[in-house]
Amino acid sequence: MLLSPKYRFLFVHIAKTGGTSVRSALEGLRWRDPWYYPMFLCSRFSHLSGHRIATKLPRHAKVVAAQELLPREFFDALFKFAFVRNPWDLQVSSFHHIRRERPHFLGGHETFEDFLRWKLDPRRPYQYHLDTSITLQSDYLIDLHGQVIVDFIGRYERLHEDFETACARIDIQPTALPHARKAQDRKQDYRGYYTDQTAELVASHFARDIALLDYRFDPE
């Protein structure tokens, strides 16, 4: 999550949706924001004291966390946005990311199919790096009553165009998006990773995302 009081935006960073590139493109604005420096000092003091305040929200915090912690008028005035991704494609991306950077979290499940079945097994012990990527994307966008409270939902599938739209809403010039963490060993088409059964597993687990965000296994 990236908060800018000067530019009045809140970027909600959902894992594996291009958010690292978006953060990289926007983080330079911090140095032009006079609020950044007192916010940084407050976050350091709050970290040392053990009392957390909303000067530095967690990287993958949900928008409701900011709504609960920030003053209501201030929160309502922010341009709040996030990016989402096709759930089937996201799971392939997550698999390659974990295999490349944290292979010990594979749990001995070396193929995508075996790993996905294990990952979506509710009896599996909780692991942050696994469970962040199977948390519903819609959970990051809604308040405690289930209402979407972000102002703009961009899509990974048109990341550059939607980032330009977000920049226009923030009233800044769009900067080039760096391509971070690109997997070199994955097939381009996520559909090649799935059987009918594993595709249905994802469809069932992410049913609310698929309905709200209008995704399909076979995009039109």
Q: What is the pLDDT along the chain (220 residues), one digit of tens a residue?
A: 899 989 999 999 999 999 999 999 998 887 777 666 666 666 666 667 666 655 567 889 999 999 998 999 999 999 999 999 999 999 999 999 999 888 888 888 889 999 999 999 989 888 887 888 899 999 999 999 999 999 999 999 999 999 999 999 999 988 888 765 555 567 779 999 999 999 999 999 999 999 999 999 987 6
Question: What confidence score (pLDDT) does residue 76 get?
Answer: 97
| 3-class SS letters over the chain | CEEECCCCEEEECCCCCCHHHHHHHHHHHHHHCCCHHHHHHHHHHHHHHCCCCCCCCCCCCCHHHHHHHCCHHHHHHCEEEEEECCHHHHHHHHHHHHHHHCHHHHCCCCCHHHHHHHHCCCCCCCCHHHHHHHCCHHHHCECCCCCECCCEEEEHHHHHHHHHHHHHHHCCCCCCCCCCCCCCCCCCCHHHHCCHHHHHHHHHHCHHHHHHHCCCCCCC
Retrieve residue 89's tokens: 């494609």
* HSE-up of residue 155 (Cα within 13 Å, Cβ side): 11
Question: What confidence score (pLDDT) does residue 52 get?
Answer: 60
Question: What confidence score (pLDDT) does residue 182 get?
Answer: 57
Question: What confidence score (pLDDT) does residue 185 get?
Answer: 63
- What does the alpha-carbon distance between residue 90 and residue 84 come to, in Å, rounded to a whole number? 9
Letter for the amino acid at 93?
A: S
Retrieve residue 137's tokens: 């994307």
Question: What confidence score (pLDDT) does residue 45 get?
Answer: 66
Residue 214: closest CA among 131, 138, 162, 134: 138
Retrieve residue 46's tokens: 């709050």
Residue with tokens 């983080």: 27
**Residue 65, C-beta contacts closer than 8 angstroms, at least 6 positions apart:** 1, 54, 57, 58
Write down all domains in the chain, each with its CATH number in brackets: 2-213 (3.40.50)
